[in-house]
Structure 1
Amino acid sequence: MTRLFGLLQCLCFALFLSAPLVLPRLGLPGGRLAVENRPRAALPAASGLWRDPAAYSLALAAHVRDAAPYRDHLIRADNRLRLALFGESPVPGVILGRDGWLFYNLESALADYLNVAPLSEAHLAAMVRIQTERRDWLAARGIAYLIVFAPNKERVYPEFLPPGLTPRQPVSRLGQLIPRLEAAGLAVLDLRQPLTAAKAVHRTYMQTDTHWNGFGALVGASAVVEAVRRWRPRLPALDVAGYSADEADRPGGDLAEMLLLPDIWRERDVVPHKAGAALARVAAPGAYPDPADHPDRARVAMETDRADWPRAVFFHDSFARGMQPFVAERFSRSVYLWTHAFVPEIIEAERPDVVVLEVVERYVFALTLENPPPVAGRSVP
């Protein structure tokens, strides 16, 4: 009987491991749902068993966890049950707000909003030094430099956070940093005020995503163009009023995906529409390596037929991706590089009139990325 019980255990374990391969062939939905924003852990090569048994065991365990039959279905069911019965987020990285709003709770986003993790004097001094080096290196080549801060969602829509989540201190990290940058003569664009003011017209952030929606991206792009017009006053403004906006139903955003519920927790996106044809079109990228080196973060180049308008290079994070089709309408050529690291070789290849560094509020430490040797400590060629 003991031997039979052991054989049954081995059989059940073998069936469990083989289920991800067998169930799809039987037409049963036991595999992974296409809502989680990360690749499934791969089955490790058998050769790793004798080459590095410890690493092989860890990789096999990760694969088994990801490939377990009905894994995602069970997680979804548990998430829906906890949301329905207890009204709580089942995922630590997602905060359940009011009226269907979701907020991000990773990368110190909540601590940033609560103002409980201020920047140290050493960090502030380093940020000013590094950004001043870039400004001076660019200025020696006749290139303007603009730093753009996109606010975290809870900074613009605090009224939808759970009760009791309010800032513990009056000054945020941006409140510390921006005056120091401006005192050093750096051009800074703080998008907190324009995005908050635009709420009176349309919603500017997605309810189920960490990012702004299409209208918020348009507002940000308009503010960037207005900042560039300080150097190029003949450049036409990007008027938000020149766009209409419609609501469009779509699957939920990245926060709903973290709950594995984007098909249930859907988004009413706000999509701007321009009257008339778009001026900007996708162009060929430069003949240099893409610093992002990631298929989902590929560089983008756009051009218009207005050779008299300035050229621009943007170093950015995910927030600038939504701005691109709007802000590109006011440059002869604009290149968008998904990295906060400064790459002087690209500047020399593109020869822009303005360089923009876009940083979302929770990534403020991106300003501490040291400059490469051609830039660091130099203000002239």
Structure 2
Amino acid sequence: MDSCREKKTRDMNRETGTKILLIGSFAASLVLPTLVYPAVRSHLDQQNYENRELASFPELSAANFDNIPTEFEAYYNDHVPFKNLFVKAKTKLDLELLNESSISDVTVGKENWLFYTVSEDGEDALADYQRTNLYTADEKTALADAITSVNEKMKERGIRFVMFEAPNKESVYAEYMPDSVRVYGSESRLDAALPELAAQGLPVYDMKPELLKEADTYQLYYKYDTHWNQIGSFIGSQQIAQTLLGTSTPLSAVSIEAAGPASGDLARMLNMAAEYSDDTEYVIQNYLPEVTATTVDMNEDNSFAVFESDSPNDKTLLVVGDSFSQNLKYFMPKLYRKTVFATFDTYTEALLDEYQPDDFVYLTVERNQELFEDVETVVWRDEVPEKDG
């Protein structure tokens, strides 16, 4: 009888000890990283790989008292000790074992091509690729009305207005998308809408056909980045030049040189920039060597810039675009006496009065639906939008 009690007591003690050990281990896993982190953080990767600003430590004041718990939770989640190390380890496991990304906005394609398949209101690249977001007749009418209104008002100010749509990378290099991502139609949203808008005489131009002509011969987009490379942007710049000036330079007239290895923003989102760095950076040389363009103004993050050149074309060009407009800076300034670049984060209507452009290029990439659809609001706004985060 006593032996049974003793055995039961030992079992209970053993069970209690196991529970204490588990609780202690769990508590240590929460506390120890926080205690150790300050001593080792200078040796760890602290870079922000997300396409947003990380949350700041909350303001400790009576006025902000109600918001402190929520703001602190957001801060801690963004700055949790060893975050990049753990994220990288999980990403490597996902890629090696499952050949997929743990970051929902990044799709791992064939031969390790990475695609930005964000899926949210106003920017749904996945739906663009799968062709599940076609415009309704009413939506196309609203688009036509908005573009018509902007175009007519620009004409009244003596400005030639044109809109260009650059395709998502997966629209040009669909062969590298995984077979598991199905396509449900023969035309994308813009494949169907742009020809209809152009047929109404609206200044809307699709860049995809020109890019597809060269996509098998040259790599036009970065393998690990969302954007076109210099070859792709050169083709885009020459389509703009042909549209506005009636002249352009073929690829055969310039030199394409490899300028070293390249990674990209999608690799950084996966914390895998070092591992995914075997892409090639291409540089266009000998483009209009007789023309010299110089930078006369540029802000810190290159989201606004002004160039002047000795081009025989004495007109002024304003280019307003998303991040796809950045690489156009290598080429467009040689085509005008003055060229102004503004991203959607820096553009306001005041630039029209300040620089009095002769030509206005409005460039968006396919996935940026809101910027394409809200062209009338964007062009005439008097202040820049607040940044998220």
Taking structure 2 as the reference length, what is the TM-score of the superposition? 0.81
Q: What one-letter code is carried by the residue in structure 2 that aligns with 1:78?
A: K
Q: What one-letter code is carried by the residue in structure 2 that aligns with 1:46?
A: L
Compared CA separation, residues 305 and 263, structure 1 to 2 (3 A): same
Q: What one-letter code is carried by the residue in structure 1 that aligns with 2:88?
A: R
Return the match for 1:187 from 200, 203, 218. Answer: 203
Compared CA separation, residues 93 and 375, structure 1 to 2 (3 A): closer
**Structure 2 partner of 1:279:** 292
Q: Does 1:113 align with 2:133?
A: no
User: How far, CA to CA, are the matches of 2:28 and 2:98 in structure 1?
Assistant: 38
Q: Does 1:262 align with 2:273?
A: yes
Structure 2: 5+ residue stretches without partners: 1-15, 382-389
Return the match for 1:167 from 183, 207, 230. Answer: 183
Give yes or no for contact 2:319–2:341 (8 Å, CA) kept in 1.
yes
Shift of 1:161: 0.8
Compared CA separation, residues 333 and 22, structure 1 to 2 (3 A): same
Q: Does 1:238 align with 2:254?
A: no
User: How far, CA to CA, are the matches of 1:197 and 1:59 in structure 2?
Assistant: 50
**Structure 2 partner of 1:102:** 114
User: How far, CA to CA, are the matches of 1:337 and 1:373 in structure 2?
Assistant: 12
CA-based RMSD of the aligned residues comes to 3.1
User: Which one is further off, 249-258 or 329-338?
Assistant: 249-258
User: How far, CA to CA, are the matches of 1:340 and 1:23 in structure 2?
Assistant: 37
Shift of 1:205: 0.6
Q: Does 1:154 align with 2:165?
A: no
Q: Does 1:338 align with 2:338?
A: no
Deviation string, structure 1 residues 236-285 (Cα, Å, up to 9, x no partner): 53343232112234442111111110111112222222264762111237
**Structure 2 partner of 1:233:** none
Compared CA separation, residues 28 and 332, structure 1 to 2 (3 A): closer
Q: Does 1:130 align with 2:146?
A: yes
Deviation string, structure 1 residues 283-333 (Cα, Å, up to 9, x no partner): 237xxxx9xxxx646211111123534311111111011112112111111
Q: Does 1:321 align with 2:337?
A: no
Q: 1:174-253 counterparts in 2 under 5 A?
A: 174-230=190-246, 237-253=248-264
- Matched residue of 1:175: which SS? helix
Give yes or no for contact 1:36–1:260 (8 Å, CA) kept in 2.
no
Of all paired residues, the percent bearing the same amino acid is 24
Give yes or no for contact 1:20–1:68 (8 Å, CA) kept in 2.
no
User: How far, CA to CA, are the matches of 1:42 and 1:344 in structure 2?
Assistant: 32
Give yes or no for contact 1:342–1:371 (8 Å, CA) kept in 2.
no
Q: What one-letter code is carried by the residue in structure 2 that aligns with 1:338?
A: T
Compared CA separation, residues 54 and 32, structure 1 to 2 (3 A): farther
**Structure 2 partner of 1:23:** 40
Compared CA separation, residues 278 and 262, structure 1 to 2 (3 A): farther
- Matched residue of 1:371: which SS? helix
**Structure 1 partner of 2:69:** 57
Give yes or no for contact 1:131–1:367 (8 Å, CA) kept in 2.
no
Shift of 1:202: 1.6
Q: What one-letter code is carried by the residue in structure 1 that aligns with 2:334?
A: E
User: How far, CA to CA, are the matches of 1:142 and 1:86 in structure 2?
Assistant: 57
User: How far, CA to CA, are the matches of 1:58 and 1:374 in structure 2?
Assistant: 36
Deviation string, structure 1 residues 95-135 (Cα, Å, up to 9, x no partner): 11111211111031121111111112222112111111111
**Structure 2 partner of 1:379:** none
Structure 1: 5+ residue stretches without partners: 231-235, 377-381
Return the match for 1:44 from 53, 58, 78. Answer: 58
Compared CA separation, residues 11 and 194, structure 1 to 2 (3 A): closer
User: How far, CA to CA, are the matches of 1:324 and 1:168 in structure 2?
Assistant: 37
User: How far, CA to CA, are the matches of 1:152 and 1:351 in structure 2?
Assistant: 31
Compared CA separation, residues 298 and 373, structure 1 to 2 (3 A): closer
Give yes or no for contact 2:292–2:309 (8 Å, CA) kept in 1.
yes
User: Which one is further off, 333-342 or 295-304?
Assistant: 333-342
- Matched residue of 2:164: which SS? strand
Give yes or no for contact 2:168–2:367 (8 Å, CA) kept in 1.
yes
Give yes or no for contact 1:40–1:63 (8 Å, CA) kept in 2.
yes
User: How far, CA to CA, are the matches of 1:43 and 1:219 in structure 2?
Assistant: 45
User: How far, CA to CA, are the matches of 2:295 and 2:255 in structure 1?
Assistant: 23
**Number of equivalenced pairs:** 357
Q: What one-letter code is carried by the residue in structure 1 that aligns with 2:232?
A: G
Q: What one-letter code is carried by the residue in structure 1 that aligns with 2:84?
A: D
Shift of 1:88: 1.6
**Structure 2 partner of 1:363:** 368
Q: Does 1:306 align with 2:316?
A: no
Give yes or no for contact 1:309–1:330 (8 Å, CA) kept in 2.
no
User: How far, CA to CA, are the matches of 1:172 and 1:215 in structure 2?
Assistant: 24
Give yes or no for contact 1:16–1:68 (8 Å, CA) kept in 2.
no
**Structure 2 partner of 1:93:** 105
Structure showing greater Rg: 2
User: How far, CA to CA, are the matches of 1:8 and 1:90 in structure 2?
Assistant: 27
